Chains A and B, each alone.
Chain A
């Protein structure tokens, strides 16, 4: 299985690649438009500021090929900001459009709790979740973010709660997203990535 890892300069590319290789995948990290167009399976890891991710996609001419790949059903996993980028936009970078594959906007979590939402939290599945198969329902995953996707969309597969409920796992046909960092979430995180590789095959 060859996984194309979109390398826009985020800090977590190395650790995502390391877990994927341990799972037996061949990993190609790229910021080249043509490699996204020809990819059989795409992962967009993200961490940091939303403007850095969207700005970098534009600077490298990746926005259109990525949108096209998602539209024709190339299996895709967005991690953290990679999930948030699927929506129409984010309050973190209001002047920049998101990929707009999914309806809705990413907003800041409420300020009556400590931000960033930093550490290990659990999920509540709202339906059967393919990415979570074989993972105990009480498993914890590692989060590090202050902005989050809405909770009520048809794509929402599992929720998490910090100040408000938000989409922690989304599944929309062959498009998947997780707000947490599976590459930093111990055995359950590795299992989730293994599930994605199986679903993408």
Chain B
């Protein structure tokens, strides 16, 4: 009996369609979220993450409809976020069928939001998304889709978020995102060792070896990727078989 390391496909959406880009920019269409959700559910994904990366354009009703349609496909947990700025926003996302919510920019701007969400939904439902970029000898927290700098060091912000009530951290390397050159192992290990909650590593995945490294060296509890799964460069089942053969505890659906 050991807690399995999790593999999480992520659907970045413009509210309605799955999109993809490099370094948070240059978006292009990558498919229908409902079809992808059904495929990942069947292939052995451990959870599904759906983000509204165009939330600034305020497409909320469309995104809520997408969450509802995706949730109907799943018998695994669903995490949703992007543009959640208030308890009201979060309630709508949970009512639409999300088990967990992610907060990012709004939590940096108003950290009390984390506590408000945690008291209402429980820490297990509050995922603090941190976009981190290396600046000399530390990682700086970035907001607004990775574009804007903050004064927070990623480790300090992660610890503060956990104190305030976050139950999980979704950690994205801005430097690696979209590059397919592997996860940022030093960043992931520093945050995962430095906080008491599970850490999901994100940004840079392509090869099965990258996942093995992020679980071993990066001590990640879960790993997230998007385009390699959408484009069928990597099947979730084959990835899990590779990890299992290399001594990583994973869930292979019976």
Which residues of chain A have a CB within 8 Å of any CB of chain B? 11-12, 14-15, 18-19, 47-49, 52, 111, 114-124, 136, 138-140, 142-146, 159-162, 181, 183-190
Contacts and interface: CB of A to CB of B under 8 A. Distances in A.
Contact of B253 (A15, A143, A186): A186
Interface string B210-254: 000000000001100000000000000000000000000001011
Contacts of B77: 142, 144, 181, 184
B76 A184 contact: yes
B197 interface: yes
Contacts of B99: 11-12, 15, 47, 144, 184
Interface string B171-188: 000000000000000000
B122 interface: yes
B196 A111 contact: yes
B72 A18 contact: yes
* Secondary structure class of chain A's binding surface, majority of residues: mixed
Contact of A162 (B3, B46, B122, B251): B3
17 contacts: A11-B125, A15-B97, A49-B122, A118-B197, A118-B221, A119-B6, A119-B221, A120-B4, A121-B1, A121-B2, A139-B254, A140-B251, A142-B76, A146-B167, A159-B1, A185-B75, A188-B254
Nearest to B91: A11
A181 B77 CA distance: 9
A21 B45 CA distance: 23
Interface of B: 1-6, 46, 71-72, 75-77, 94-95, 97, 99, 119-125, 167-168, 196-198, 221-222, 251, 253-254
Contact of A119 (B46, B94, B97): B46
B124 A144 contact: yes
Contacts of B72: 18
B6 A146 contact: no
A181 B221 CA distance: 19
Contacts of B71: 14-15
A145 to B, nearest CB: 7
B94 to A, nearest CB: 5
Given A15-B71, A116-B167, A121-B1, A186 B122 contact: no
Given A12-B99, A15-B71, A136-B254, A120 B3 contact: yes
Contacts of B76: 142, 184-186
A120 B125 contact: no
A10 to B, nearest CB: 9
A161 B254 CA distance: 21
B145 to A, nearest CB: 26
A124 B2 CA distance: 11
> 8 closest A-B pairs (Cβ-Cβ)?
A48-B122, A144-B124, A140-B251, A120-B251, A161-B1, A116-B124, A120-B4, A136-B254
B254 A184 contact: no
B2 to A, nearest CB: 7
A146 B46 contact: no
A181 to B, nearest CB: 8
A116 B254 contact: no
A19 to B, nearest CB: 7
Nearest to A141: B251
**Most chain B CB neighbours (cut-off 10 Å) among A14, A160, A185, A189:** A14
A143 B71 CA distance: 18
Contact of A120 (B46, B124, B167): B46
